[in-house]
C-alpha cells in the first residue's frame, strides 16, 4: 500500500512539474501583464504591462527590459535592484497574469505569374496564372482560340536571363491529336503566346 500511495503521489505531482517547466521556458513578450509581489514589502506589489519597447517601470527599481527574458531572470534583477532598500535581498515573485493577444497570421496570397496572349485568342491580353501552369492550361484560361486561329503556327516567346528572346513553335492541332508534345510546357513569368490568324487557304 505504501508503494501504491507513493506512485499516486508521483503521478499527481508530474502535471504540476510539467507546468512549472513550461513556465520557466516561457519568454516574456510585449503586451504580457506581469504580477509582481515583494514578500518583505507588500506596498511594492503591483501589475505591470510590458510596453511595446519590451520594458516595464517599477517604483524604486526603475525601468527594466523584460522582453525575451524568463520569469527567473526578471525576479533576480528586480531583487537585485530593490536590495539597497532592505537589510537583506528581498524575496520577489513574478507571475504572468495575462498573455499578450496573439494575432492570427493571415495566409499569404497565392503567388501568380503574368502570361500574355496575342492574336487570335478568344480573350487576348494578360492573364494571371499559378506557377506551374502549362501551355494548354493557359490557352484554356484565355477562353480558347478563335475559329480563325492558325493552330499549327503558334509561337511561345520567352526571354531568357541574358535578355535574349527564344521562340518556340507549337502545333496545337497536333498536340490536341496527341501527335506532338509541347502541351505540358510549363510557363514562366513574362511568357508571350502569339496566335497568328489563318491564311486564306490554310
DSSP code per residue over 38-79: ETT-GGG-EEEEPPTTSEEEETTTEEEE-TT--HHHHHHHHH
Structural domain containing residue 49 = 26-98
16 three-state secondary structure = helix
- Can you give the CATH number for the domain in which 76 is found? 3.30.1950.10
117 and 70 in a common domain: no
**Nearest-angstrom CA–CA distance, 72 and 94:** 8
CA 65 from chain center: how many Å?
27
Write the pLDDT tens digit of every residue in 148-165. 999 999 999 999 888 899
120 and 92 in a common domain: no
139 three-state secondary structure = helix
pLDDT at 85: 86
117 and 71 in a common domain: no
Bridge partners (DSSP) listed for residue 126: 116
**Nearest-angstrom CA–CA distance, 98 and 30:** 11
- Can you give the CATH number for the domain in which 171 is found? 3.10.560.10
Q: Please check whether residue 201 lies inside any domain of the structure.
A: no
Per-residue buried b or exposed e for 88-127, using 16+ beta carbons within 10 Å of the residue's own CB: eebebebebeeeeeeeeeeeeeeeebebbbebbbeebeeb
Q: Please check whether residue 15 lies inside any domain of the structure.
A: no
Is the distance from CB of 139 to CB of 116 less than 8 angstroms?
Answer: no
pLDDT at 108: 65
141 and 87 in a common domain: no
Residue indicated by cell numbers 508503494: 3
Write the pLDDT tens digit of every residue in 116-158. 999 999 999 999 999 999 999 999 998 999 999 999 999 999 9
| Percent of the chain residues past pLDDT 90, beyond the cut | 55
Per the structure, the count of domains in the chain is: 2
Of 43, 65, 98, the last residue of a domain is 98
For the segment 78-102, the average pLDDT, to the nearest whole number, is 89
Amino acid at each position: 500500500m505504501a508503494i501504491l500511495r507513493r506512485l499516486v503521489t508521483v503521478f499527481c505531482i508530474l502535471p504540476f512539474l510539467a507546468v512549472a517547466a513550461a513556465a520557466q521556458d516561457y519568454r516574456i513578450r510585449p503586451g504580457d501583464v506581469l504580477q509582481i509581489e515583494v514578500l518583505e514589502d507588500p506596498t511594492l506589489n503591483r501589475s505591470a504591462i510590458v510596453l511595446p519597447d519590451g520594458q516595464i517601470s517599477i517604483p524604486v527599481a526603475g525601468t527594466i527590459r523584460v522582453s525575451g527574458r524568463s520569469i527567473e531572470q526578471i525576479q533576480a534583477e528586480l531583487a537585485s535592484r530593490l536590495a539597497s532598500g532592505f537589510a537583506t535581498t528581498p524575496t520577489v515573485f513574478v507571475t504572468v497574469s495575462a498573455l499578450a493577444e496573439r494575432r492570427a497570421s493571415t495566409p499569404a496570397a497565392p503567388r501568380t505569374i503574368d502570361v500574355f496572349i496575342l492574336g487570335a485568342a478568344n480573350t487576348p491580353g494578360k492573364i494571371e496564372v499559378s506557377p506551374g501552369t502549362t501551355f494548354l492550361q493557359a490557352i484554356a484560361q484565355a477562353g480558347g482560340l478563335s475559329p480563325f486561329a492558325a493552330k499549327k503556327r503558334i509561337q511561345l516567346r520567352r526571354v531568357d536571363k541574358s535578355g535574349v528572346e527564344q521562340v518556340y513553335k507549337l502545333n496545337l492541332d497536333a498536340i490536341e491529336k496527341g501527335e506532338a508534345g509541347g502541351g505540358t510546357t510549363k510557363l514562366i513569368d513574362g511568357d508571350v503566346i502569339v496566335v497568328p490568324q489563318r491564311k486564306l487557304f490554310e
